[in-house]
């Protein structure tokens, strides 16, 4: 199986692994960079994901995990994330779209995504 993740170049203070797209966009809000319309747009995207995908329990508990989309369900998720990606582009926030077939130990899985444990900046 293959997996996809959109991640930045800054490390998460929890995992020490590159931050995911949601953290990157929340940082734009925290740093008061987005316009009010852009902020509303991102919050609506975040709410769509919260309403339509289960939030992995390890993420809720702030465990040292990162999430990947499953490639067979990635297209729909990627479409929903395009406006958030456009915000990263607009404000020159670097990111990488990572595709991989090796993610380490899965500690959470649903139809769309997996969460894997990270230690010392690496997937376990």
What is the tens place of the pLDDT at every residue in 41-98?
999 999 999 998 888 888 888 888 999 999 988 788 889 999 999 999 999 999 999 9
**pTM of the full structure:** 0.90
How far apart CA 64 and CA 77 sit, in angstroms, is 23
Is residue 50 within 8 A of residue 102, CB to CB? The reply is no
**C-alpha span between 30 and 24 (Å, rounded):** 10
Residue 96 pLDDT: 96
Listed in sequence order, the residues at least 6 apart from 29 whose beta carbon sits closer than 8 Å to its beta carbon are 39, 42, 43
Q: Cβ–Cβ contacts within 10 Å for residue 24, how many?
A: 23
Q: Which domain holds residue 38?
A: 3-123
**Arithmetic mean of pLDDT, 104-121:** 89
Q: How many domains does the chain have?
A: 1
Average pLDDT, the chain: 91
């Amino acid at each position: 199986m293959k997996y996809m993740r959109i991640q930045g170049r800054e490390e998460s203070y929890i995992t020490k692994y590159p931050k995911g797209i949601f953290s990157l966009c929340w940082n734009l809000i925290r740093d008061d960079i987005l316009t009010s319309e852009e902020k509303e747009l991102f919050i609506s995207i975040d709410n769509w994901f919260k309403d339509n995908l289960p939030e992995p329990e390890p993420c809720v508990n702030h465990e040292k995990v990162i999430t990947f989309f499953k490639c067979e369900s990635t297209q729909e998720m990627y479409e929903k994330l395009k406006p958030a990606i456009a915000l990263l582009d607009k404000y020159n926030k670097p990111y990488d779209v990572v595709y991989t077939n090796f993610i380490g130990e899965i500690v959470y899985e649903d139809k769309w995504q997996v969460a894997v444990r990270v230690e010392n900046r690496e997937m376990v």
